[in-house]
Structure 1
Protein backbone atom coordinates (compact mmCIF):
# COMPACT_ATOMS: atom_id res chain seq x y z
CA UNK A 1 0.00 0.00 0.00
CA UNK A 2 1.36 3.40 -1.01
CA UNK A 3 -0.12 6.30 0.94
CA UNK A 4 0.45 10.03 0.61
CA UNK A 5 -0.81 12.87 2.80
CA UNK A 6 -2.57 15.62 0.86
CA UNK A 7 -4.49 18.77 1.76
CA UNK A 8 -8.21 18.20 2.19
CA UNK A 9 -10.38 19.23 -0.77
CA UNK A 10 -14.02 18.67 -1.60
CA UNK A 11 -13.32 15.62 -3.76
CA UNK A 12 -12.07 13.83 -0.63
CA UNK A 13 -15.11 14.75 1.47
CA UNK A 14 -17.01 11.43 1.33
CA UNK A 15 -13.90 9.40 2.13
CA UNK A 16 -12.85 11.75 4.93
CA UNK A 17 -16.36 11.62 6.40
CA UNK A 18 -16.37 7.81 6.32
CA UNK A 19 -13.07 7.61 8.22
CA UNK A 20 -13.91 10.41 10.69
CA UNK A 21 -17.42 9.17 11.43
CA UNK A 22 -16.17 5.62 11.95
CA UNK A 23 -14.11 6.88 14.92
CA UNK A 24 -17.01 8.99 16.24
CA UNK A 25 -19.35 5.99 16.11
CA UNK A 26 -16.81 3.76 17.86
CA UNK A 27 -17.07 6.12 20.83
CA UNK A 28 -13.59 5.29 22.13
CA UNK A 29 -11.37 8.19 21.07
CA UNK A 30 -13.09 11.38 19.88
CA UNK A 31 -15.13 13.61 22.19
CA UNK A 32 -17.74 14.18 19.45
CA UNK A 33 -20.95 12.20 19.72
CA UNK A 34 -22.60 13.34 16.47
CA UNK A 35 -21.47 12.21 13.05
CA UNK A 36 -20.78 14.75 10.33
CA UNK A 37 -22.86 14.95 7.17
CA UNK A 38 -21.74 16.44 3.86
CA UNK A 39 -22.63 20.02 4.88
CA UNK A 40 -21.35 19.94 8.46
CA UNK A 41 -18.34 17.86 7.43
CA UNK A 42 -17.24 20.19 4.66
CA UNK A 43 -17.61 23.20 6.95
CA UNK A 44 -15.74 21.37 9.74
CA UNK A 45 -12.74 20.35 7.61
CA UNK A 46 -12.54 23.77 5.95
CA UNK A 47 -12.67 25.62 9.30
CA UNK A 48 -9.41 24.07 10.53
CA UNK A 49 -5.99 25.68 10.18
CA UNK A 50 -5.22 22.60 8.09
CA UNK A 51 -7.00 19.35 7.29
CA UNK A 52 -5.01 16.55 5.73
CA UNK A 53 -6.07 13.28 4.18
CA UNK A 54 -4.11 10.06 3.79
CA UNK A 55 -4.84 8.79 0.29
CA UNK A 56 -3.91 5.39 -1.12
CA UNK A 57 -2.13 6.28 -4.35
CA UNK A 58 -3.37 3.50 -6.63
CA UNK A 59 -7.06 3.66 -5.66
CA UNK A 60 -7.29 7.32 -4.55
CA UNK A 61 -9.16 6.02 -1.47
CA UNK A 62 -9.07 8.12 1.72
CA UNK A 63 -7.60 5.87 4.42
CA UNK A 64 -6.97 8.50 7.09
CA UNK A 65 -7.61 12.12 8.01
CA UNK A 66 -6.36 14.73 10.46
CA UNK A 67 -7.32 18.19 11.57
CA UNK A 68 -5.00 20.88 12.97
CA UNK A 69 -6.13 24.07 14.70
CA UNK A 70 -5.27 26.41 17.60
CA UNK A 71 -5.86 24.83 20.98
CA UNK A 72 -6.95 28.17 22.43
CA UNK A 73 -7.18 31.86 21.54
CA UNK A 74 -5.15 35.02 22.06
CA UNK A 75 -2.10 34.56 24.26
CA UNK A 76 -2.33 30.78 23.91
CA UNK A 77 -2.98 30.63 20.16
CA UNK A 78 0.61 29.53 19.48
CA UNK A 79 -0.36 26.11 20.90
CA UNK A 80 -2.12 23.87 18.40
CA UNK A 81 -4.23 20.77 18.76
CA UNK A 82 -4.90 17.93 16.35
CA UNK A 83 -7.05 14.85 15.90
CA UNK A 84 -6.30 11.81 13.76
CA UNK A 85 -8.48 9.06 12.30
CA UNK A 86 -7.43 5.95 10.39
CA UNK A 87 -9.81 3.61 8.61
CA UNK A 88 -10.62 0.79 11.01
CA UNK A 89 -9.48 -2.15 8.89
CA UNK A 90 -6.19 -0.43 8.02
CA UNK A 91 -5.03 0.43 11.54
CA UNK A 92 -1.59 -0.92 12.34
CA UNK A 93 -0.19 -0.06 8.88
CA UNK A 94 1.70 3.07 10.00
CA UNK A 95 -0.87 5.43 8.46
CA UNK A 96 -1.31 7.09 11.86
CA UNK A 97 2.42 7.78 12.07
CA UNK A 98 2.30 9.36 8.62
CA UNK A 99 -0.60 11.58 9.69
CA UNK A 100 1.09 12.69 12.92
CA UNK A 101 4.49 13.39 11.33
CA UNK A 102 2.86 15.35 8.52
CA UNK A 103 0.85 17.28 11.11
CA UNK A 104 4.00 18.16 13.06
CA UNK A 105 5.60 19.59 9.93
CA UNK A 106 2.42 21.48 8.97
CA UNK A 107 2.18 22.92 12.50
CA UNK A 108 5.74 24.21 12.19
CA UNK A 109 4.96 25.71 8.78
CA UNK A 110 1.98 27.51 10.32
CA UNK A 111 4.26 28.92 13.08
CA UNK A 112 2.70 27.03 15.98
CA UNK A 113 5.17 26.49 18.81
CA UNK A 114 3.61 23.57 20.69
CA UNK A 115 1.38 20.68 19.62
CA UNK A 116 -0.88 19.59 22.48
CA UNK A 117 -3.31 16.70 22.75
CA UNK A 118 -5.92 17.36 25.43
CA UNK A 119 -7.51 13.94 25.76
CA UNK A 120 -5.66 10.83 24.63
CA UNK A 121 -7.79 8.01 26.00
CA UNK A 122 -5.77 5.65 28.22
CA UNK A 123 -6.92 2.51 26.39
CA UNK A 124 -5.68 3.89 23.03
CA UNK A 125 -2.40 1.96 23.35
CA UNK A 126 -1.34 2.39 19.71
CA UNK A 127 -1.67 6.17 19.91
CA UNK A 128 0.15 6.31 23.24
CA UNK A 129 3.05 4.24 21.87
CA UNK A 130 3.20 6.36 18.71
CA UNK A 131 3.26 9.65 20.58
CA UNK A 132 5.96 8.38 22.92
CA UNK A 133 8.07 7.21 19.97
CA UNK A 134 7.80 10.70 18.44
CA UNK A 135 8.95 12.45 21.62
CA UNK A 136 5.65 13.73 23.02
CA UNK A 137 5.62 14.37 26.76
CA UNK A 138 2.79 13.19 29.00
CA UNK A 139 1.21 15.86 31.18
CA UNK A 140 -0.49 13.68 33.78
CA UNK A 141 -3.64 11.59 34.00
CA UNK A 142 -7.00 13.26 34.61
CA UNK A 143 -9.05 10.37 36.02
CA UNK A 144 -12.31 9.60 34.27
CA UNK A 145 -11.82 12.39 31.77
CA UNK A 146 -13.45 10.55 28.86
CA UNK A 147 -16.91 9.03 28.70
CA UNK A 148 -16.86 5.99 26.42
CA UNK A 149 -19.84 5.09 24.26
CA UNK A 150 -20.73 2.36 26.78
CA UNK A 151 -21.05 5.05 29.52
CA UNK A 152 -17.87 3.97 31.31
CA UNK A 153 -15.51 6.76 32.32
CA UNK A 154 -11.88 6.30 31.36
CA UNK A 155 -8.69 8.18 32.15
CA UNK A 156 -7.15 10.56 29.62
CA UNK A 157 -3.48 11.37 29.15
CA UNK A 158 -2.77 14.84 27.72
CA UNK A 159 0.50 15.20 25.77
CA UNK A 160 2.57 17.94 24.22
CA UNK A 161 5.49 18.35 21.83
CA UNK A 162 7.58 21.49 21.48
CA UNK A 163 7.80 22.26 17.80
Structure 2
Protein backbone atom coordinates (compact mmCIF):
# COMPACT_ATOMS: atom_id res chain seq x y z
CA UNK A 1 0.00 0.00 0.00
CA UNK A 2 2.97 2.36 0.45
CA UNK A 3 4.63 1.81 -2.92
CA UNK A 4 2.01 3.83 -4.85
CA UNK A 5 2.71 6.70 -2.42
CA UNK A 6 6.39 6.65 -3.39
CA UNK A 7 7.84 4.58 -0.54
CA UNK A 8 10.61 2.02 -0.96
CA UNK A 9 11.15 -0.79 1.50
CA UNK A 10 14.40 -1.11 3.42
CA UNK A 11 14.00 -3.88 5.99
CA UNK A 12 11.20 -2.86 8.34
CA UNK A 13 11.34 0.73 7.12
CA UNK A 14 9.44 2.20 4.21
CA UNK A 15 11.17 5.42 3.10
CA UNK A 16 10.37 8.12 0.58
CA UNK A 17 11.99 11.41 -0.29
CA UNK A 18 9.50 13.92 -1.60
CA UNK A 19 9.05 17.69 -1.51
CA UNK A 20 12.21 18.22 0.54
CA UNK A 21 11.28 15.66 3.21
CA UNK A 22 12.36 12.17 4.10
CA UNK A 23 9.36 10.23 5.36
CA UNK A 24 9.57 6.87 7.10
CA UNK A 25 7.03 4.26 8.10
CA UNK A 26 8.73 1.85 10.48
CA UNK A 27 7.14 -1.46 11.42
CA UNK A 28 8.01 -2.17 15.03
CA UNK A 29 7.74 -5.81 16.00
CA UNK A 30 7.60 -7.20 19.52
CA UNK A 31 7.39 -10.87 20.36
CA UNK A 32 5.07 -9.96 23.24
CA UNK A 33 2.98 -7.12 21.87
CA UNK A 34 2.80 -7.81 18.13
CA UNK A 35 3.34 -5.21 15.41
CA UNK A 36 2.74 -1.48 15.25
CA UNK A 37 3.93 1.37 13.04
CA UNK A 38 5.98 4.47 13.78
CA UNK A 39 5.46 7.38 11.39
CA UNK A 40 8.41 9.79 11.05
CA UNK A 41 9.61 12.68 8.93
CA UNK A 42 12.72 14.76 8.46
CA UNK A 43 12.73 18.18 6.81
CA UNK A 44 15.88 18.02 4.71
CA UNK A 45 16.50 21.80 4.75
CA UNK A 46 16.34 21.91 8.56
CA UNK A 47 18.55 18.86 8.70
CA UNK A 48 21.12 20.49 6.40
CA UNK A 49 21.41 23.55 8.66
CA UNK A 50 21.76 21.31 11.72
CA UNK A 51 24.46 19.21 10.05
CA UNK A 52 26.29 22.32 8.87
CA UNK A 53 26.40 23.68 12.42
CA UNK A 54 27.43 20.60 14.38
CA UNK A 55 29.98 17.84 13.80
CA UNK A 56 28.64 14.73 12.06
CA UNK A 57 29.36 12.47 15.05
CA UNK A 58 27.38 14.60 17.52
CA UNK A 59 24.14 13.19 18.90
CA UNK A 60 21.24 14.41 16.86
CA UNK A 61 17.71 13.92 15.80
CA UNK A 62 17.51 11.60 12.85
CA UNK A 63 13.80 12.08 12.39
CA UNK A 64 12.35 15.41 13.46
CA UNK A 65 9.06 13.91 14.53
CA UNK A 66 8.02 10.34 15.23
CA UNK A 67 4.57 9.25 16.29
CA UNK A 68 3.00 5.85 16.75
CA UNK A 69 0.07 5.06 14.52
CA UNK A 70 -2.22 4.60 17.53
CA UNK A 71 -1.57 8.17 18.64
CA UNK A 72 -2.86 9.34 15.30
CA UNK A 73 -5.86 7.01 15.41
CA UNK A 74 -7.27 7.63 18.88
CA UNK A 75 -4.34 8.62 21.14
CA UNK A 76 -3.82 5.08 22.43
CA UNK A 77 -1.08 2.62 21.62
CA UNK A 78 -2.26 -0.01 19.13
CA UNK A 79 -0.47 -3.29 18.48
CA UNK A 80 -1.68 -6.06 16.20
CA UNK A 81 -0.89 -9.59 17.37
CA UNK A 82 -2.05 -12.88 15.96
CA UNK A 83 -4.95 -11.24 14.21
CA UNK A 84 -5.67 -12.51 10.69
CA UNK A 85 -6.98 -9.04 9.78
CA UNK A 86 -4.04 -7.30 11.50
CA UNK A 87 -1.83 -6.67 8.47
CA UNK A 88 -4.74 -5.25 6.48
CA UNK A 89 -5.95 -3.12 9.42
CA UNK A 90 -2.46 -1.77 10.13
CA UNK A 91 -1.88 -0.99 6.44
CA UNK A 92 -5.21 0.81 6.24
CA UNK A 93 -4.43 2.78 9.41
CA UNK A 94 -1.11 3.89 7.92
CA UNK A 95 -2.84 5.10 4.74
CA UNK A 96 -5.76 6.69 6.62
CA UNK A 97 -3.84 8.36 9.47
CA UNK A 98 -0.09 8.15 8.80
CA UNK A 99 0.10 9.62 5.31
CA UNK A 100 -2.13 12.63 6.15
CA UNK A 101 0.03 13.22 9.26
CA UNK A 102 3.12 13.39 7.06
CA UNK A 103 1.40 15.86 4.73
CA UNK A 104 0.32 18.00 7.70
CA UNK A 105 3.97 18.38 8.78
CA UNK A 106 5.07 20.14 5.60
CA UNK A 107 4.34 23.77 6.60
CA UNK A 108 7.08 25.33 8.73
CA UNK A 109 4.49 26.74 11.16
CA UNK A 110 3.24 23.21 11.86
CA UNK A 111 6.79 21.99 12.39
CA UNK A 112 7.48 24.84 14.81
CA UNK A 113 4.37 23.88 16.78
CA UNK A 114 5.48 20.24 16.93
CA UNK A 115 8.88 21.36 18.24
CA UNK A 116 7.14 23.29 21.04
CA UNK A 117 6.81 26.86 19.78
CA UNK A 118 5.48 28.99 22.59
CA UNK A 119 6.73 26.66 25.31
CA UNK A 120 8.96 28.45 27.78
CA UNK A 121 10.37 25.34 29.40
CA UNK A 122 13.05 23.23 27.71
CA UNK A 123 11.91 19.62 27.35
CA UNK A 124 15.05 18.51 25.54
CA UNK A 125 17.82 20.02 23.46
CA UNK A 126 16.78 18.22 20.27
CA UNK A 127 13.38 19.86 20.23
CA UNK A 128 14.83 23.29 21.02
CA UNK A 129 17.44 23.07 18.29
CA UNK A 130 14.81 21.90 15.80
CA UNK A 131 12.53 24.75 16.88
CA UNK A 132 15.27 27.36 16.55
CA UNK A 133 16.27 26.22 13.07
CA UNK A 134 12.64 26.09 11.95
CA UNK A 135 11.96 29.59 13.29
CA UNK A 136 15.10 30.83 11.56
CA UNK A 137 13.85 29.35 8.27
CA UNK A 138 10.54 31.15 8.86
CA UNK A 139 12.40 34.48 9.14
CA UNK A 140 11.80 34.71 12.89
CA UNK A 141 15.45 35.38 13.79
CA UNK A 142 14.90 36.91 17.24
CA UNK A 143 12.49 34.15 18.26
CA UNK A 144 14.93 31.52 16.96
CA UNK A 145 17.74 32.94 19.08
CA UNK A 146 15.44 33.23 22.10
CA UNK A 147 14.53 29.54 21.74
CA UNK A 148 18.17 28.62 22.35
CA UNK A 149 18.73 31.10 25.20
CA UNK A 150 19.18 29.95 28.78
CA UNK A 151 19.61 26.20 28.35
CA UNK A 152 19.05 24.24 31.56
CA UNK A 153 22.07 23.73 33.78
CA UNK A 154 21.66 19.93 33.71
CA UNK A 155 22.04 19.75 29.92
CA UNK A 156 24.82 17.38 28.89
CA UNK A 157 28.00 19.09 27.65
CA UNK A 158 27.62 17.49 24.19
CA UNK A 159 24.19 19.09 23.85
CA UNK A 160 25.40 22.44 25.21
CA UNK A 161 28.04 22.39 22.48
CA UNK A 162 25.38 21.76 19.85
CA UNK A 163 23.17 24.55 21.18
CA UNK A 164 26.10 26.95 21.00
CA UNK A 165 27.11 25.74 17.52
CA UNK A 166 23.57 26.28 16.22
CA UNK A 167 23.40 29.69 17.91
CA UNK A 168 26.56 30.68 16.05
CA UNK A 169 25.26 29.26 12.75
CA UNK A 170 22.00 31.22 13.10
CA UNK A 171 23.89 34.43 13.92
CA UNK A 172 22.63 34.76 17.47
CA UNK A 173 24.57 37.24 19.61
CA UNK A 174 26.73 36.24 22.57
- TM-score higher than 0.5: no
- By percentage of residues, which structure has more helix? 2
Q: TM-score, normalising length from structure 1?
A: 0.29
- By percentage of residues, which structure has more strand? 1
Q: Flag the structure with larger Rg.
A: 2
Q: TM-score, normalising length from structure 2?
A: 0.28
Q: Which structure has more RCO (C-alpha within 8 Å, separation ≥ 6)? A: 1
